Structure 1
């Protein structure tokens, strides 16, 4: 079975930053290929969705999407078409001005949302609103928008998340 994890970076992030590398190590340990598209050319989140949907995923039996901030919006909107096995969302940029979609149809077998209490970019209330509406598990950490101080916990969560798929 061919499996892939696709990491969708945030608005001002890079495709292979600190978080990406750590998630890639976990994914590879479970036999997943790992992709991190470069979205830096587009500041419009919906252009990034189009870029993700243009990827050829036909060779994969299982797709897992990770998204951080704007990347979580991208992964969630794209999930409606991709129908991944899992959605793993960090500080999702939901319900913000300039983001076209405010109603979602998150499509995945398992969806997890992680947010920081001290996030001053995307209020934690936005994650709660999404999770309440779609009945998704919300995990809150005492960290800021980038969530770097919570990375050890997030890596553990991601490992358990992938293990839950029989990896």
Structure 2
């Protein structure tokens, strides 16, 4: 086994979400262990109220790992994955359709400096306008792949999977 990957779904989704499931299957085929927490109960309280319990749930999952895991997240899952990297050791971050802020949440997007990170975002993201994530990536000099897609990024699964393979290959 290569290591552990924790994949976090978006707020209107679940652990069986299309992107998360496809990336989990891809990682497992390459010898990685995967975990997909279900944040449905956390999300029921609303966007801003879901951040703290999501981060706590991820922190507990990381504590149960033998080594720092790779965190993969989509939308709210990306936001929480980035924030937990401030508190817990992670091997890398793969962040999809990441909101730079959550309305009414006091904490803006942040992550631990030095953690290998790749952000993927859609030019036509209707929920998280591209300018905010571009500014975040620019301030931190993070790689940002912009695709001709919307928030769900479903038309870009081949490109996303190829970038995920590159990240996993670099970590193997």
Change (3 A) 1:56 1:6: closer
CA RMSD of aligned residues (A): 1.7
The corresponding residue for 2:38 is: 38
| In structure 1, distance between residues paired with 2:20 and 2:92 | 17
| In structure 2, distance between residues paired with 1:147 and 1:126 | 17
The corresponding residue for 1:21 is: 21
Change (3 A) 1:62 1:3: farther
Offset of 1:150 from its aligned partner? Answer: 0.4
Equivalent residue runs for 1:59-70 within 5 Å: 59-70=65-76
C-alpha contact 1:89 1:114 (8 A) present in aligned 2:
yes
Q: TM-score, normalised by structure 2?
A: 0.89
C-alpha contact 1:90 1:115 (8 A) present in aligned 2:
yes
The corresponding residue for 1:81 is: 87
Q: TM-score, normalised by structure 1?
A: 0.92
Answer 1 or 2: which has greater helix percent: 2
Q: How many aligned positions are there?
A: 166
Q: What whole-Å deviation, never above 9, does each CA across 1:5-49 have from its counterpart, x for those lacking one?
A: 000110101111211221112211332110000001112122211
Offset of 1:104 from its aligned partner? Answer: 2.0
| In structure 2, distance between residues paired with 1:144 and 1:152 | 15
The corresponding residue for 2:6 is: 6
| In structure 2, distance between residues paired with 1:92 and 1:100 | 16
The yes-or-no answer on 1:158 pairing with 2:171 is no
| In structure 2, distance between residues paired with 1:56 and 1:102 | 22
Runs of 5+ in structure 2 lacking a partner? 44-49
Offset of 1:107 from its aligned partner? Answer: 4.6
Deviates more, 1:113-122 or 1:51-60: 51-60
C-alpha contact 2:83 2:109 (8 A) present in aligned 1:
no
